[in-house]
Structure 1
Amino acid sequence: MTMKPDDNQDEVRVWRTQSGHDIAYRQITGAGPTVLWLGGFKSDMTGTKAQVLADMAVRAGFGFVRFDYFGHGATGGDWNAARIGLWRQDVLEVVDNLTKGPLVVVGSSMGGWMTTLLIKDRPERIKGAGFIAPAPDFTHALMLPNLNPEERHALTVSGAFVMTGYDQGVTMSQAFFDEAKDHLVFGAPLTFDGPVRILHGMKDDVVPWSHGVKLAEHISSGDVRLTLIKDGDHRLSGPEDLKLLTAMVQELIDA
Structure 2
Amino acid sequence: MTDGAMQIEVGTGEDARTIAVRHRAAGTRQRPGLVWLGGYRSDMAGTKAVELDRYAGENDLACTRFDYSGHGESGGDFMRGTISRWLEESLAVFDRFTEGPQILVGSSMGGWIAIRMLQELRKAGRAERILGLLLLAPAPDFTSDLHEPLLTDAQRKDIEEKGFYEEETPYGPDPNIFTRDLFEDGRKNRVMTGIIETGCPVHILQGMDDPDVPYSHALRLVEHLPADDVVLTLIRDGDHRLSRPQDIDILLNTVAQMTRPPTE
Does TM, normalized by the shorter one, top 0.5?
Answer: yes
Conservation of the 8 A alpha-carbon contact between 1:193 and 1:220: no
Q: Does 1:226 align with 2:219?
A: no
Match of 2:165 in 1: 161
2:32 is matched with which residue? 33
- For residues 61 and 177 of structure 2, the distance between their equivalents in structure 1, rounded to whole angstroms, comes to 38
Question: Which of 20, 23, 31 pairs up with 2:19?
Answer: 23
Q: Which residue does 1:100 correspond to in 2?
A: 99
The superposition leaves residues 139-185 of structure 1 with CA deviations (integer Å, 9 ceiling, x where unpaired) of 00101112233222322343321122143123322222112211111
Equivalent in 245, 248, 251 of residue 245 of structure 1: 251
**Using the alignment, how far apart are the partners of 1:156 and 1:93 within structure 2?**
33
2:56 is paired with a residue whose SS is helix
Cα deviation for residue 220 of structure 1 reads 4.1
Matches within 5 A, 1:139-178: 139-165=143-169, 166-178=172-184
- 1:196 paired to 2:202: yes
* Percent identical: 37
Q: Report if the CA contact (8 A) 2:10-2:19 is conserved.
A: yes
Q: Which ranges of structure 2 fall in alignment gaps of 5 or more residues?
A: none
Partner deviation per Cα, 1:2-44 (whole Å, 9 max, x = no partner): xxxxxxxx92110122433211010111142110000000000
The answer to whether residue 39 in structure 2 is matched with residue 43 in structure 1 is no
What RMSD, in angstroms, separates the aligned Cα atoms of the two structures? Answer: 1.5
Aligned mates of 2:217, 2:146 — CA distance in 1: 9
Contact 1:36–1:65 (CA<8 Å) still a contact in 2?
yes
Aligned 8 A contact 1:194 1:221 in 2: no
**1:29 is aligned with what amino acid?**
A
Question: Which deviates more, 134-143 or 212-221?
Answer: 212-221
Across the two proteins, how many residue pairs are aligned to each other?
246
The aligned residue for residue 121 of structure 1 is 120
| Aligned 8 A contact 2:197 2:228 in 1 | no
Which runs of 5 or more structure 1 residues have no equivalent in the other structure?
A: 1-9
- Alpha-carbon distance between aligned partners in 1 of 2:180 and 2:103, rounded to the nearest angstrom: 34
CA distance in 2 between partners of 1:55 and 1:175 (Å): 36
The answer (yes or no) to whether the contact 1:34–1:104 under 8 Å persists in 2 is yes
TM-score normalised by length of structure 2: 0.89
Which of 169, 187, 191 is equivalent to 2:193? 187
C-alpha distance in 1, partners of 2:74/2:223?
A: 34
Contact 1:128 1:253 in 2 (8 A): no
Q: Aligned to 2:32, what secondary structure does the other structure show? A: strand
Residues 22-70 of structure 1: CA deviation (Å, up to 9, x unaligned): 1101011114211000000000000000011111011001000000001
State the TM-score, normalizing by the size of structure 1: 0.92
* Residues 1:77 and 2:70 are matched in the alignment: no
Q: Retained in 2: the 8 A contact 1:137–1:186?
A: yes
In structure 2, C-alpha distance between the alignment counterparts of 1:74 and 1:143, rounded to whole Å: 27
Residue 247 of structure 1 aligns to which amino acid in structure 2? N
Q: Secondary structure at the match of 1:181?
A: helix
**Which stretch of structure 1 is more off in the superposition, 44-53 or 121-130?**
121-130
Is the CA contact 1:189–1:218 (under 8 Å) kept in the aligned structure 2? yes
- Amino acid corresponding to residue 188 of structure 2 in structure 1: D
